[in-house]
């Protein structure tokens, strides 16, 4: 499977596929300023925990280029990093990558070397994510039976990573082995990442896919036609509780009731040592506009308020296994670091 062209560094800018316009248009943004990178992350032009982290790592290079002439380079550059950190609170990969870049910034003997080292670091994070995706794909495919049908939620594919995916990396590997019969993709309200993005990726890869309303997933699981549910994650607490796109928790409940294995696929950078369990994970809430209209048409009456969390937390008791680049585990605290 070739990487999806999600993001690419070009000399002095970050090139991003604008996921807000898919599948209708394939348009690329060219981010030259920290404000442009932050806006791309905040508005979901780039999305998915690993991709957000890598975009922020390259954003750190842009921050260094922007502040290269400052008399207080390190401090001013670090403040630019804070702009990126404030974009989205739940995806821990964002903070993981920025922490790596901050250490490089303050340990570099000169601004010239800082820029060079920050760029090399971002490139390394990009390559590490690709390799982690390949490894997770192999581990996950080992768990699937022949002629399997799987269900996934949101988009955990190349668009959400450096280009290969987490949950979809397993699906790509299963397809390459001849194990896969069909993929069902929840549409994933309210922004339809499953309908718009996952189906787009799988169709381009020649993998059979059907899109279903989120509300139909439990009924589909009850039929016994699904062999596994596979999703990604944006933050995993040390006990294994996992935050992912809103709608994942009820999917895990339905899978448990139906006796269908439920797998979370995510790299080690998604594990959060600062979160002992799911209650400590901050859940991002997004604006009213995402629910108030659809396709340019008003849906909600004026004055009606909304509850619009971007994520929910699935307790570890409903997760069969977590698949990461270190193997198939029960929770991050079971790993020998």
Strand partners, 263: 230, 321
Q: Which of 216, 227, 302, 230 is nearest to 265 (CA)?
A: 230
User: Which two three-digit tokens encode residue 54?
Assistant: 């890598």
Q: Contact 86/41 with Cβ under 8 angstroms? A: no
Please confirm, yes or no, whether 214 is among the known catalytic residues. no
Q: How far is residue 142's CA from residue 63's CA, in Å, rounded to a whole number?
A: 42
> Where is 7: in which H helix or E strand?
strand 7-10
Q: Are strands 148-152 and 180-186 parallel, antiparallel or unpaired?
A: parallel
Q: How many residues does the chain have?
A: 337
SS3 label, residue 31: strand
Handedness of CA 73, 76, 80, 82 (dihedral sign): positive
Q: Is 300 exposed, middle or buried (0-12, 13-18, 19+ CB in 10 A)?
A: middle
Residue indicated by tokens 């999305």 = 47
Q: How far is residue 42's CA from residue 16's CA, in Å, rounded to a whole number?
A: 13
Q: How far is residue 79's CA from residue 67's CA, in Å, rounded to a whole number?
A: 10
Q: Which of 310, 137, 172, 131 is nearest to 235 (CA)?
A: 310
Expressed in percent and rounded to 5, the helix, strand and coil fractions of the chain are: 45, 20, 35
Which of the following is catalytic: 186, 214, 227, 234? 234
List Cβ neighbours of 38 (8 Å cut-off, separation of 6 or more): 59, 83, 84, 86, 87
Instruction: List residues with catalytic annotation.
Output: 234
């Amino acid at each position: 499977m070739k990487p999806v062209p999600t993001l690419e560094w070009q000399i002095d800018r970050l090139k991003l596929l604008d996921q807000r316009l898919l599948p209708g248009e394939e348009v690329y943004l060219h981010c030259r300023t920290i404000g442009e990178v932050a806006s791309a992350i905040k508005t979901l032009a780039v999305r998915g925990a690993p991709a957000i982290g890598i975009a922020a790592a390259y954003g750190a290079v842009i921050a260094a280029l922007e502040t290269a002439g400052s008399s207080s380079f390190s401090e001013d550059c670090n403040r630019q990093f804070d702009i990126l950190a404030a974009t989205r609170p739940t995806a821990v990969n964002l903070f993981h990558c920025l922490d790596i870049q901050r250490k490089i910034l303050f340990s570099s003997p000169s601004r010239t070397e800082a820029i060079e080292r920050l760029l090399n670091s971002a490139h390394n994070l990009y390559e590490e994510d690709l390799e982690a995706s390949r490894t997770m794909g192999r581990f996950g495919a080992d768990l699937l039976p022949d002629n399997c049908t799987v269900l996934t939620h949101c988009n955990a594919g190349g668009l959400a990573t450096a280009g290969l995916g987490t949950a979809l990396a397993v699906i790509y590997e299963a397809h390459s082995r001849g194990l896969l019969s069909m993929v069902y993709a929840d549409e994933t309200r309210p922004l339809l990442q499953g309908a718009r993005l996952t189906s787009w990726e799988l169709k381009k890869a020649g993998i059979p896919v059907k899109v279903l309303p989120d509300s139909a997933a439990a009924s589909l699981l009850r039929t016994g036609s699904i062999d596994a549910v596979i999703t990604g994650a944006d933050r995993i607490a040390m006990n294994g509780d996992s935050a992912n796109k809103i709608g994942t928790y009820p999917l895990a409940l339905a899978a448990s009731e139906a006796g269908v294995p439920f797998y979370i696929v995510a790299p080690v950078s998604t594990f959060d040592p600062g979160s002992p369990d799911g209650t400590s994970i901050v859940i991002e809430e997004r604006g009213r506009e995402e629910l108030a209209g659809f396709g340019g048409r008003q849906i909600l009456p004026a004055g009606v308020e909304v509850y619009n969390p971007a994520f929910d937390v699935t307790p570890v008791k409903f997760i069969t296994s977590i698949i990461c680049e270190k193997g198939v585990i029960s929770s991050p605290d079971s790993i020998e670091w």
